[in-house]
Structure 1
């Protein structure tokens, strides 16, 4: 992401606020959605806290990246951040904090198409 954004204009479109009133936005470099790109490369996750706006295409992109074993998905034993307690050094069970656990879900259309869906939905 550093190389994608270094020296480039990053434009963010606000979509709402979380429960702590922190602004949530979709960010782009040109027509490239940065979140969708990070997720498709396996360096980001499709995650929503309760009451946050969801982007279904992000979960579709993650399923594809997971199926292809990209990035964080290359190691099946690596716990996702919301299931790992660094202070305890152990995996914890908190599936309820993630609306879509992805277990057993089929792969959907190619990643590039889903990124285009996200970009098109936000005028990118």
Structure 2
């Protein structure tokens, strides 16, 4: 008799692996069609995943690609959760959001003193 491969609901696994803060958030992402299982959209949170499956989903501004390595028994601490998957996400370059300082903005103390001196000389 062959033993069946272990499997778990996709929303529960995403929650166990700590990709989403709550299981309902994970279920909403799956129901909305934002999670791909082995390249096809997973439309039901009750869809099962097994070790070896590849999941693709957005987490913040990063597209995550992970391979399921193990099925978790519980939602444990972060080091335990990191053992459930292998991260295949490519490094994405972060472009700084703020432009470099171009001499605009609030003056420092030395610049304020120079402005005060200039103003006092202009009133004389």
Could you say whether these structures have the same fold, taking a TM-score greater than 0.5 normalized by the shorter chain as the test?
no
| TM-score class, shorter | under 0.3
TM-score relative to the length of structure 1: 0.23
TM-score relative to the length of structure 2: 0.23
| Structure whose alpha-carbon radius of gyration is higher | 2
Larger RCO, structures 1/2 (Cα 8 Å, 6+ apart): 1
Larger helix percent:
1
Larger strand percent:
2
